[in-house]
Amino acid sequence: MSEVRVLRMEGPVLVFGGPYSNLEATRALFDWAAAQQIPADHVICTGDVVAYGADARETLALIRKSGIRVVMGNCEESLAASAATCGCGYTEGSACERLAAEWYAHADKSLDGEDRRWLGTLPRRLQIEVAGRRLAVVHGGVSRINRFVFASAPAAVKRAELAGIEGDGAISGHSGIPFTQIIDGRLWHNAGAIGMPANDGTPRTWFSLLLPEADGIRIEHRTLEYDYQTAARKMRAAGLPEGYARALETGLWPSLDVLPPAEIADSGRPIEAGTIFWPTEAGRRRSSRSRNERASNWPTSTPVAPILPPRDPEKFRDPLRTLGGERRAQIPFRALETLWFNTGTLCNIACEHCYIESNPRNDRLSYLTLGDVRLYLGEIAHEGLPTAEIGLTGGEPFMNPEVIAILEECLERDFRVLVLTNAMRPMMRHEQALLALRHRFGEKLMPRVSLDHYTQELHEKERGERTWQPTLDGLLWLARQGFNLSVAGRLMWGETETSTRQGFHALFAAHSLALDADDPSQLILFPEMDAAADVSEIAQGAWPASAATPETLMCASSRMVVKRRGAERPSVVACTLLPYEAEFELGATLAEASRSVALNHPHCARFCVLGAGTCGRG
């Protein structure tokens, strides 16, 4: 259904999200609204009427009968279409996805055709006007119906979402935890959900009131007390997941897959009801003159990603033993499937957190020559190694004066060639040569563009001012010319992988890029690394259950060739992340480097094992 006209509302506006088939909570909220004499057309639901609870059809019937305003959520969208899944946006294989399959099946079989028809008529967006301020009401994000937007999401993320609407702000739901933020004078408001607690260790649930005042809008975050014991008992009787029934009683979610680190750190910490005032421009000026500035966030201390404690300097010292005396994990070398060449550490830009400290002055790794590369390609051929892929990294590979010749040599030997680039001026200088290579070798040439975040603000926070548009221009050029393209981003701002992929999905759609943000081979998201922060060492007999398996680690099937400044010839190191560490230098030839690698560096634990990171194509 298309967007409706602007709904002008005088007096209090009640906002709530996520009834989630919780009939007891929904009744309690409507009873409270009736007692406060709030009319139905001033009550707004941000969607997900049907979800976790036992009473799907009964809750839906109550909502329909009430006459309130409801915006379509992903559950409404999926149920209306009789889709196979809830469309919540959970990461594939996550605990949330597995649990959702159970409650969604129950909800799906509870509804009839008329229920689905009504769900399908709901608008994806409402436009309301309160005290002269125009607000878009959406379910998740402005850009995507199942977008998770949490309080800890960077302001740049919310600015990018708000850029998709006209007006003064947005009201959303989906994430289940209430918050309000004023960003550059515009509002992002989430009333929370009434059908499930906010993971704060209490059974209370949340809704909000928007109260017009002379100088702006007062926003009250309120708690809802209801008969959660009955709701939980009915869930168990219906055979629904015990974790969600228990969550109604304990206030703790059964899985935290969707939560960013900051919200995970706040699990079980009771949220206090509170108020925030959103002034008009005139009200803001008067407030400023009276030195009575009001808070721009609720809760007032916006969650931030927890700071990791410093690493014990004794960790990762002994290549054979962990600090606890256990035998350190060793990764046997399986076969050389990917050979990386570091073409040199010089780069046209200086990133704030470059994995190998590349910048316009760092030449600790010299430019590899075509002759250097031929040595190792020849060894692959002579030894009959099963290498299928060559990777070029740097620095910026396109600053190497022989990069086109190196690409051509590798492609002519029938390797797939992955080249990592920032897609800026050094790459674009080779425009015609790259087109010729693509014409000759097609999809075997695979550029991967480093776009650290889907917003200009955070990409440039990492890469420097005026780096966004040249990179985006280069990416779009590669896409228009039909290259076998992928993008590399980073998980370094406290966002979840799910939310980050959703943000890139919106960016790709906005620029008509035929890239699937949910495909880890087309959008590679690197976990953040900090060698000074504490991380567990990996012992041979105590491999973490949720970690990447040993045979999937880079050092089991890949090596990298580097040439140190002043060295007579190149050498082979264990992986792309540790080009400077002497103990990870394995020899001068591929044969010498075909041996086990001890996981004796923080990057081995944080990036590869616990973060399941890989530099390959996936």
pLDDT digits (tens, 9 = 90+) for 566-584: 999 999 999 999 999 989 9
The pLDDT assigned to 92 comes to 79
Q: Are residues 292 and 395 in the same domain?
A: no
Mean pLDDT of 437-458: 97
The pLDDT assigned to 616 comes to 62
Residue 3 above 80 pLDDT? no
The pLDDT assigned to 617 comes to 55
Residue 178 lies in a domain: yes
CA distances (Å), 202 to each of 190, 259, 269, 410, in order?
Answer: 19, 18, 9, 60
| Structural tokens at position 243 | 């974790």
The pLDDT assigned to 307 comes to 64
Q: Are residues 281 and 337 in the same domain?
A: no
pLDDT digits (tens, 9 = 90+) for 397-416: 999 999 999 999 999 999 99
CA distances (Å), 122 to each of 118, 130, 145, 236, 474, in order?
Answer: 7, 21, 13, 30, 40
Residue 311 lies in a domain: no
Inter-axis angle of helices 456-463 and 468-480, to 10 degrees? 110
Q: What is the CA radius of gyration of the chain?
A: 27
The pLDDT assigned to 288 comes to 47
Residue 279 lies in a domain: yes
Sign of the Cα pseudo-torsion (224, 230, 231, 232, in order): positive
Cβ neighbours for 278, distance < 8 A, ≥ 6 positions apart? 133, 169, 180, 182, 187, 216, 217, 218, 219
Model confidence at 528, in pLDDT bands (50, 70, 90)? Answer: confident
Residue 40 lies in a domain: yes
Residue 564 above 70 pLDDT? yes
The pLDDT assigned to 292 comes to 40
Mean pLDDT of 202-211: 98
Model confidence at 348, in pLDDT bands (50, 70, 90)? Answer: very high
The pLDDT assigned to 404 comes to 98
Contact criterion met (CB below 8 Å) for 329 and 601: no
The pLDDT assigned to 546 comes to 63
The pLDDT assigned to 492 comes to 84
Q: Are residues 203 and 55 in the same domain?
A: yes
Q: Are residues 276 and 335 in the same domain?
A: no
Q: Are residues 486 and 419 in the same domain?
A: yes
The model carries a pTM of 0.83
Please state, in angstroms and rounded to a whole number, the distance separating the CA atoms of residues 296 and 536.
38
Q: Are residues 520 and 570 in the same domain?
A: yes
Q: Are residues 153 and 278 in the same domain?
A: yes
The pLDDT assigned to 431 comes to 98
Contact criterion met (CB below 8 Å) for 299 and 271: yes
Model confidence at 293, in pLDDT bands (50, 70, 90)? Answer: very low
CATH of the domain at 539: 3.20.20.70
Residue 319 lies in a domain: no
The pLDDT assigned to 353 comes to 84
Mean pLDDT of 286-301: 59
Range of the domain at 482: 330-610
CATH of the domain at 170: 3.60.21.10
Residue 325 lies in a domain: no
If one compares 613 and 359, the residue with the highest pLDDT of the two is: 359
How, if at all, do strands 13-16 and 338-342 pair?
unpaired
Q: Are residues 356 and 278 in the same domain?
A: no
The pLDDT assigned to 1 comes to 39
Model confidence at 290, in pLDDT bands (50, 70, 90)? Answer: very low
Q: Are residues 337 and 294 in the same domain?
A: no
Q: Are residues 108 and 154 in the same domain?
A: yes
Please state, in angstroms and rounded to a whole number, the distance separating the CA atoms of residues 205 and 552.
43
Residue 320 lies in a domain: no
Model confidence at 289, in pLDDT bands (50, 70, 90)? Answer: very low
Q: Are residues 282 and 344 in the same domain?
A: no
Contact criterion met (CB below 8 Å) for 613 and 403: no
How, if at all, do strands 6-9 and 126-130 pair?
parallel
Q: Are residues 286 and 348 in the same domain?
A: no
Look at the chain and report how many structural domains it folds into.
2
Residue 301 above 70 pLDDT? no
Residue 352 lies in a domain: yes
